[in-house]
Chains A and B, each alone.
Chain A
Amino acid sequence: GAVVSQHPSWVICKSGTSVKIECRSLDFQATTMFWYRQFPKQSLMLMATSNEGSKATYEQGVEKDKFLINHASLTLSTLTVTSAHPEDSSFYICSARESSGSGDTQYFGPGTRLTVL
């Protein structure tokens, strides 16, 4: 299957700082990427849909000014957690959608574990 990378794999930061997470599709172009948040032993919660060259679409309850998303190229989307607080500590996972003749398939990055002190 297609490969999606995510960087960094883990990050520890102080409260009030901003953290940027990168998501890259390595062997395909992705006009659409997705950002999820996952708490321990829970399902994937979609935060926003990132569209190349346009504004992201945020899910209800997700603050767009806190979670900034940029999808400037067909292989890169970034999520910036601004003014991070301990409650933002979580596992953040991106995915990229690959389109083919048979339909779309979504592949996930390895995730970023964010710990805010």
Chain B
Amino acid sequence: ETGVTQSPTHLIKTRGQQVTLRCSSQSGHNTVSWYQQALGQGPQFIFQYYREEENGRGNFPPRFSGLQFPNYSSELNVNALELDDSALYLCASSEAGTGGNSPLHFGNGTRLTVT
């Protein structure tokens, strides 16, 4: 069983640039969610994809967007980067939606630094 993998592990970007982060979900999981985690804080829900459609979104502006592909892998895109976007970005996969007792399986994250 392959776990959740994210790439890249670290990234440095300049304010105003755009970034794409990638995530491969765990085998058998059809739901992917993305989180932003600032240092010393809990993960903040960005959005979730189920069968290639967004089915939940947190309080993030539209410059945060995503995709899910037929193989259930996913991308997080952030446009017009701001300094406050510097954080650890976590991807998690699960078996079906957010309901029920399907636990989230997290990747190790991408550490994004915006200068």
Q: Do A and B bind each other?
A: no
Chain A residues close to B by CB (< 8 Å): none
